[in-house]
Structures are given as C-alpha cells and as structure tokens.
Amino acid sequence: MQQDFYSGLPKRMSIALDKLFTSKNWDYSDPEFRRKKHVIHAVQSDYVRLPVDATEAQIFQCADYMIKQVYAYAAKYQVDSLVVDGVCMLCRQMGIPGPQGTDYKEQIARAVDRAWWIRSLRKEHARRFEHVAIQLGFTSYKAGVYISNESAIRQRKRNQENAALLAKTELQNENGQVYTLEELSALGTSNKAIRRGELMTRIRGFEEIAKDLKHVGMFWTITCPSKFHAVLSKSGDSNPAYQGASPREAQAYLCKVWARIRAALKRNNIHPYGFRIAEPHHDGCPHWHMLLFVAPEQAPEMEKIIRKHALAEDGMEKGAAENRVKLVEIEAGKGSAAGYIAKYVAKNIDGEHVGDHKTNEGWVVVPDMLGNEEITPSQRVTFWSQLHGIRQFQQIGGAPVTVWRELRRVKYDAVLHAPENIKLAWAAVQRNGDSLASYADFTNAIGGVSSGRRYTVRIASRDVEIAGKYATYTDKRPCGVYSLGNPNAIYESTRYQWTRVDKKGGGVAFDLPWTGVNNCTEKKQATGADTEIFIKELKEKVENVRSGKVKIQCHGKSLEEFVKNWRNRE
C-alpha cells in the first residue's frame, strides 16, 4: 500500500486497515475493499470541512477563521439579512446548523462568538469521525463495541472536563447557602442512581395501573433494515448490504416508523402506554425496546399494526420477519413487567445489578482498558447516546412527567387549601421515609392513564425576562400548578435565585439550569444593552475593514486552501 493511502485517518485506523488489506491480499475487485476505499477517498477529498483526524487546536483555529469570514461578510454586505445568509452558507459548508435566534442581531451575535463555533464544529466533527469509524469497521464487537475507542476516549475526556468545571463553580442562593454545580447536579436526574430510580418508579406505576385495569403487557423490539447495519450481527464481518447510514439516520428511521404506528393506533382508538428504550447494536446502529400496556381485546390489532409498519420497508429481505420485529407477551403471574425491563434500564444507565452485559446479538461485553482507565459497557452506551444526541428513554402515553416533577417543588403549605385532586397528586409524588412516591396514584389523581389532554392538573407558567448571552427575551417559565377547574388559583413551586460566587467578590444572578436557562456567563451577565453595544462595535469594526484601516489576516485566500494547509502540516 502507498503511504499516503491512509492520510487523514488516525494512526490506529491506518495501521489496522493496512494489516487487514495486506492479510487478505485484497484487490479492487473485492466489494468490501471498494467500499472502504470509497470511504477513505471521500475523507481525503473533503477540502472544506475539518479533517477527520483534526485536533482540538485545529478546531479552535477553524473557529477563529470562521469569525473572520463573518466579519468579511459584514464588511461586504452591510445588511443584517445578507450577513446572516452568508453565515448560513458557511455553516452549510462546514456541515453544522446555522445560528438560531429570534432576529438577525441575535444570529449575528452567535456567529461572532468563538465558543459557539467551537461547540458546533466539535459536535459535527465528533459525529462525522464516528460515522467514518463505523463505515471502516472500527465500531463493532471485534473493535470497539457501541462506539469506536477513539470516540470513547474523546467523549470521556469531554465529560471529565465538564465535571471539573461543575466541581469548581460555586453558587449561592438568597438564603446564603453555597453549593457547587456538581453538588446541585447530583440532586437531580444527572445522578445516574436517581435517574434509574425515577424511571423504575414510573414504570412500576404503569404496571400497577395495568394490573388494576386488567391490561396486558407487551414487550417489543424493533430493529432497522439490514441496509442500516455496517456489521453482520452474528459473524461480526462487514455487511455487504450496508448503505452508509449513520446512527442518527437510523434513529430518524425508527422515529418515522413509530410516528406511522402511533397514527394508525390512534385511528383505531388504541391508546397504549409504557416506555421506549433506544440502545445501540454492537455496531452503533440503534434499536428500540418498548414495554407497552393495552386492553387485552386491543392487543391483536395493535400487534398487527406494529408488525405491518415495522416491516413496511425491506420487509421481504432475508430474516426480516424473525429479526426486525419481536414480541414477548408478559403473562400475568409469570414475572413482573417492571422486572423484565429493569435490566434494560440499568444496562443503559450505570449497569447496576445487570450481571453480564449482553448485546442484542447475545455477545457478552466486558469492561476494558482505554489508556490507564477502565471503561464499562454502560459507559460506552452513555458515550454513544451523548455523541449522537439520541434520547435513550421516552415515556409513551400516560400522565405528563412535567407535572410530576413540578409538584415535587411545591411545598406542603402551598396545597393546604387546594382542591382534592391536587392534594392527592401532591401526596403521590412525595417520598417520606419508607413511603415511596407512587406514579400510579399520581396518574389516577389527575385523571387516569388515558386522559390525554384532559388531565385535571396542569403546569402554571408566567412570563419571565431572560438575559441570555446573545439577547434578552421574554419567555414562559413554570411557576407551579393549577387545577383545570380553576386556572386562576396557582399553587406555586419553590425556586431559588442563585448567584455565581466570584472568587474576587461579587456574583452573577441566575436561575437554576432546571428552568431551561443558564444565565451565567464567564465574566458577567449579558443584557440587552450589552447586545446593542456589541452590535455597535461590530459595525465599527466592519467600517474599519471597508475603509482599509483594518485588514483581515487569514491563513489562506480561501477556506479550501486553508484546510489544504492543515493537510500539509508536518
């Protein structure tokens, strides 16, 4: 093989591919060789986006160059809408979404922020890198289960950096209490044990409701067609039917299938409730497990609908009927539905009480060493979910969990004179000593499992002015709950005003991240006035560029030449 054949790939991949090609003595007539050669050629001929083997320093360098390009557009066009169009064109070239915002000023403010570019470029690069690893066979049971070793190392490092930042960031509330963000994070569902416990509480609640209603449990597994799988499930060899889809594309396919199933079930007045778990095959392609409860007389029709839509695409291919959609009926008296799904929940969170960690194909995955640290199978699953942005757990039907969580923030004194449904719902979400919270009692208190939009307890919200990093805007934020019969009586939840503790004295006021907004910036809180000042300064810089007082210093005359310089680096 020529030495430059593998240029642009990480060293481990280059060495492994060279050994593979040499050992098999492949030539251009071999289909697998042609597929891998095509992937390598695509990587080497991509002169616009970041190289697949780009370092963090190169990502930072590219972010700086992008900002200079934005200033160049601003100097050239002088119109906000045209500048945003130019920014969006840059984003399309780099494979990232354009900057979001309610107006052009906010979008431009993002486009000249180095941190925004770094986040966007880093995410796109990580996903593209892993997609290349999947296509070349480096994500599989034989190489790196669920996620390639390179991506696992990178994601672990990012998580450690985030944890270190949380640990050193201190907050103080209006009562004078001081905590680190790490301590506050450990009190919520970011804590894996709490996350697992809450999921199991809700699953157990659904099972209790099903038992009272004499509904049956059905455990489904739905898998993508063969063309989404890079590696054969049994042998671990390259799949000749694979057409190059990424895990996110496979997840989009499963979401589309479920949307069609849900619509068909609704047309037939079938309303199942339960949970969906998305987890990876050993090659990173997602599949779904679904625990659904339904009235026994509706089960046969629901089975027919699910099988029809799960096999609608490529349903005649070999093994589709047996492997693409599977059903396990949970019989009354023969085990618990919650117990049946518990291992899938734990397996995809922290591996607690799982025993042997088995893939969907039946292989046992054991912890391994990456560098000087051990990495567990459950950590690999978490890294897979974080990297690809795939939601692991989702409730199907039933009462909204937002009300459940909001009631936990409502104090006892606030519901003393509340209607009976709110009192019962409030009592159901509390945990006192040995008394556990009951999702079944909560659901029944607000209308039952199949109430849909007729639930009698709702989230109350109020308009809040939010001073974000890029703009100040008004949005609705939860402030408690109310009963559907009397929407004017709001039973308020407790939220604290937190201030970031400045080591030099002083602080920044903001709400906890659970409100969906983190108003904390590195140095000070951004305001609408700050944004106006920024836009003014931007226009001054643009005018300086146009007048020739300031010249933009680029690493090359064009982005293509800039990236080529990276490839020619020593």
Catalytic residue set: 340, 344
Instruction: Measure Cα distances from 51 to 59, 100, 121, 239 in Å.
Output: 10, 26, 11, 26
Contacts 24+ apart (CB under 8 A), 71-78: 71/112, 71/538, 71/541, 71/542, 71/545, 71/552, 72/545, 72/552, 74/108, 74/538, 74/539, 74/541, 74/542, 74/545, 75/542, 75/545, 75/546, 78/542
Dihedral sign (CA 293, 294, 300, 306): negative
Amino acid at 49: R
Q: How far apart are CA 279 and CA 391, in angstroms?
A: 9
Coil, helix or strand for 96?
A: coil
Compute the radius of gyration of the chain from its Cα atoms: 27
Contact call for residues 491 and 405 (beta carbons, < 8 A): no
Phi, psi of 480 (to 5 degrees): 150, -155
Residue environment code for 19-45, b if the CB has 16+ CB neighbours within 10 A, otherwise e: eebeeeebeeeeebeebbbebbeebbe
- Give the containing element (helix H, strand E) for 476: strand 472-483
- What is the maximal distance between C-alpha atoms in the chain? 82
Sheet containing 178-180: order of strands? 178-180, 170-173, 497-501, 507-511
CA–CA gap between residue 207 and residue 374 (Å, rounded): 37
Task: Encode 108-139: b = buried (16+ Cβ within 10 Å), e = exposed.
Answer: bbbbbbeebbbebbbebbbbbbbbbbbbbbbb
Distance of alpha carbon 32 from alpha carbon 12, whole angstroms: 20
Q: Which long-range contacts (CB under 8 A, 24 or more apart) does 463-466 make?
A: 466/517, 466/519
Write out the two tokens for 268: 């037939």
* One-letter amino acid of 204: R
Distance CA(564)–CA(556), nearest Å, equals 9
CA pair distance 33, 195, nearest whole angstrom: 44
The H-or-E segment that residue 337 falls in is helix 337-347
Which H/E stretch holds residue 205?
helix 192-213
Dump strand ranges (E) for 205-347.
216-223, 273-280, 286-294, 325-330
SS3 of residue 529 by DSSP: helix
